[in-house]
Amino acid sequence: MNIEEAKKYHRMDAIVVGAGLAGLRAALELARDGHEVAVLTKVYPTRSHSGAAQGGIAASLANTTDDSEELHMFDTVKGSDWLGDQNIIEFFVSEAKKTVYEFEHMGVPFSRTEDGRINQRAFGGHQKPRACFSADITGHVLLHTLYEQCLKYNVHFYNEFQVFSLLVEKNISRGVVAWDIRNGGLHTFHAKAVLLATGGYGRAFKVTSNAHANTGDSLGLILENGLPLEDMEFVQFHPTGLFKHGILMSEACRGEGGYLTNGKGERFMEKYAKEKMELAPRDVVSRSEQTEINEGRGGNGDDYVYLDMRHLGEEKIIKRLPQVRDLAINYLKVDMINEPVPIQPTAHYSMGGIPANINTEVLKNPKGDIVVGLYTAGETSCLSLHGANRLGTNSLQEAATFGRVAGTSMSEFVKNNGLENLPANETDNARGKVSALMEGKGKERHSVLKEELQENMTKYAGVYRNEKDMKKLMKVIKELQARYKKVTIDDKGDAYNMDLFEAFEVGNLLSFSEVMIEGAIARKESRGAHFRTDHPKRDDKKWMKHTFAWKTAKGVKLDHTRKAIIYMDRFPPLERKY
């Protein structure tokens, strides 16, 4: 190895891909245990999507009313429409308080009650106010605090490094190969344990609340390694995306007392969820909005309804929701103090992802066998905690709690295992991807393919779905995949080659979208966020099961043998009404 090569080879105990809440929490745990840990992230750590979270982080602290873990568990089970694994949910709610107090002790500036305790606001589907918050910048303060802690414990940060391939051989993870965005060139990261914490992937849709970086890169990498994804058909549409932009107006708006009205000025939730009204879970509220829009009762007959905050008054809006107010002013020129804000459902959260067990070890099949040394946590993983629908504020909590679990599991693994050899010619796969795009002779543009995918996903696989539309969509995806093989990029340079990394991202979007839609076509029932107008009922006899999906030469292979874990004596399935 010469000096130049040595600069591109990095040996660590553990590698964390992703610097959101999940990745940073894991890295902190590993570093505190004295391990050499590298965090690789394609965006600067504090720009990870976790920082965009507004509303809060759930825990049954009972600081403003009575509450209990059992109630938090029940709400999460019901929210999941009885697809969430109840052993995971039980563990999650029991760890949630500890996670919040840990953040408090690290110095997170939570909003407080009059008597100085952490304040908690109401959120959809939670019977009690359980969202611990910091005005409407909760994710921002959590992320910054964790980042500072990681710096304190000497975590090695490789910012603007994008992972292009996983090094898994003979079922053992050995590291990753990443593109150095700033300078160009591939680097090999060799380690005993690897965590995939690459966040959500809402960018498959046109109208989405997700950041541009949320392209599901690790899902594409898992699939190309012959490994499965789980429950990909479950995509959450958030009811209050800014009209046309999809940018989020936090659920905290309704938590603080905001109403939804249609074009006739009616509070339409009365018809759909009499008891919980605007604070029914997201899937229920999004469907109600879409029905109003489809039946011609949108604002000005257009594809939106209104979020009305005026009755809360200027003082409360400015104190509790300053960021969302600014967003509406900047993007729609609407000030919520004086006017209702036009909103529509927006692709927001992905319940499915890389299957993992309670220790965050990646599963290679529905029986529960693992890939040695490979871990996943946060939104990109599927444990399955949220089942068919996630409750708001449960996902910051998931990312932090299971980030910590990942750190602990990896730490144990690293102590007890040696470093495996790298596969021969370990950079070949990543190098092949780069040269196919740089040297290709085709005429296709990745940005065009991406737009077509997003348009069609929003049109045919949104809040309401049916077989006919989704089959049309599958045809489009297959055509786009064929055209992707002919993508060439114009920029042939090394430094900040956005053309290159965006082209790589589009490949991943196209890859997992196929899996998402095949899973959605196969699931002939309506559960949680997956609503089929041609199969409008939940079917517990056939479908209280998880979907495992692989990509093969012949297309997507599905398996439905893994049953949801239900505690029949405590939380048997009920009709889900709000």
Ligand X SMILES: Cc1cc2nc3c(=O)[nH]c(=O)nc-3n(C[C@H](O)[C@H](O)[C@H](O)COP(=O)(O)OP(=O)(O)OC[C@H]3O[C@@H](n4cnc5c(N)ncnc54)[C@H](O)[C@@H]3O)c2cc1C
Which of the ranges 13-21, 86-94, 327-335, 470-478 carries the binding residues for ligand X, by CB under 6 A? 13-21
Q: Looking at beta carbons only, is 290 or 350 nearer to ligand X? A: 350
Residues 179-198 that bind ligand X (CB under 6 A): 197-198
Q: Looking at beta carbons only, is 372 or 377 nearer to ligand X? A: 377
310 has catalytic annotation: no
Q: Looking at beta carbons only, is 86 or 208 nearer to ligand X? A: 208
Residue 370 host element (H or E): strand 370-376
Binding-residue total with ligand X (CB under 6 A)? 43
Q: How far apart are CB 390 and ligand X at their closest, in Å?
A: 8
Residue 410 host element (H or E): helix 394-416
Which of the ranges 91-99, 298-306, 374-382, 514-522 carries the binding residues for ligand X, by CB under 6 A? 374-382
Distances (CA, A) of 270 to 274, 285, 512, 577: 5, 11, 37, 13
DSSP 353: B
Q: Does 353 bind ligand X (CB under 6 A)?
A: no
Phi–psi pair at 293, nearest 5 degrees: -65, -50
Residue 345 host element (H or E): strand 341-350
Using CB under 6 A, which of 16, 17, 31, 372 touches ligand X?
A: 17
AA letter at 504: F
CA atoms of 418 and 433, how far apart (whole Å): 30
AA letter at 256: E
Using CB under 6 A, which of 15, 22, 235, 410 touches ligand X?
A: 22
Residue 376 host element (H or E): strand 370-376
Closest CA to 450 of 439, 441, 442, 458: 458
Using CB under 6 A, which of 12, 13, 27, 42 touches ligand X?
A: 42
Q: How many CA atoms lie within 13 A of 423 on its CB side?
A: 18
Q: Does 393 bind ligand X (CB under 6 A)?
A: yes
Using CB under 6 A, which of 13, 33, 55, 205 touches ligand X?
A: 55
Residues 66-105 that bind ligand X (CB under 6 A): none
Q: How far apart are CB 492 and ligand X at their closest, in Å?
A: 21
Close Cβ partners of 161 (under 8 Å, ≥ 6 residues apart): 40, 41, 42, 178, 179, 180, 181, 187
Q: How far apart are CB 19 and ligand X at their closest, in Å?
A: 4
Q: How far apart are CB 469 and ligand X at their closest, in Å?
A: 25
Using CB under 6 A, which of 399, 461, 480, 516 touches ligand X?
A: 399
Which of the ranges 182-190, 208-216, 407-415, 531-539 carries the binding residues for ligand X, by CB under 6 A? 208-216
Q: How far apart are CB 215 and ligand X at their closest, in Å?
A: 7
DSSP 227: -
Q: How far apart are CB 141 and ligand X at their closest, in Å?
A: 12
Q: Does 108 bind ligand X (CB under 6 A)?
A: no
Backbone φ/ψ region at 368: left (φ over 0), alpha (ψ -120 to 50), beta: left
Distances (CA, A) of 311 to 56, 106, 249, 259, 314: 23, 37, 17, 9, 9
Using CB under 6 A, which of 12, 14, 16, 20 touches ligand X?
A: 20
Q: Does 378 bind ligand X (CB under 6 A)?
A: yes
Q: How far apart are CB 113 and ligand X at their closest, in Å?
A: 19
Close Cβ partners of 571 (under 8 Å, ≥ 6 residues apart): 73, 74, 77, 82, 86
Q: Does 288 bind ligand X (CB under 6 A)?
A: no
Phi–psi pair at 168, nearest 5 degrees: -120, 125
Q: Looking at beta carbons only, is 509 or 544 nearer to ligand X? A: 509
Q: Mask of contacts with ligand X, 139-168, x by CB under 6 A?
A: x----------------------xx-----
Q: Looking at beta carbons only, is 53 or 461 nearer to ligand X? A: 53
**Which residue of the set 174, 282, 287, 483 is catalytic?**
282
Phi–psi pair at 112, nearest 5 degrees: -120, 155
Q: Looking at beta carbons only, is 100 or 396 nearer to ligand X? A: 396
Q: How far apart are CB 132 and ligand X at their closest, in Å?
A: 10
Closest CA to 132 of 101, 159, 172: 101
Phi–psi pair at 356, nearest 5 degrees: -150, 160
Strands 186-190 and 131-132: unpaired
Q: Looking at beta carbons only, is 136 or 420 nearer to ligand X? A: 136
Residues of the shown chain interacting with ligand X in the complex, contacts defined by CB under 6 A: 17-23, 40-43, 48-50, 52-57, 138-139, 162-163, 197-200, 209-210, 213, 217, 248, 349, 378-380, 392-396, 399
Which are the catalytic amino acids?
282
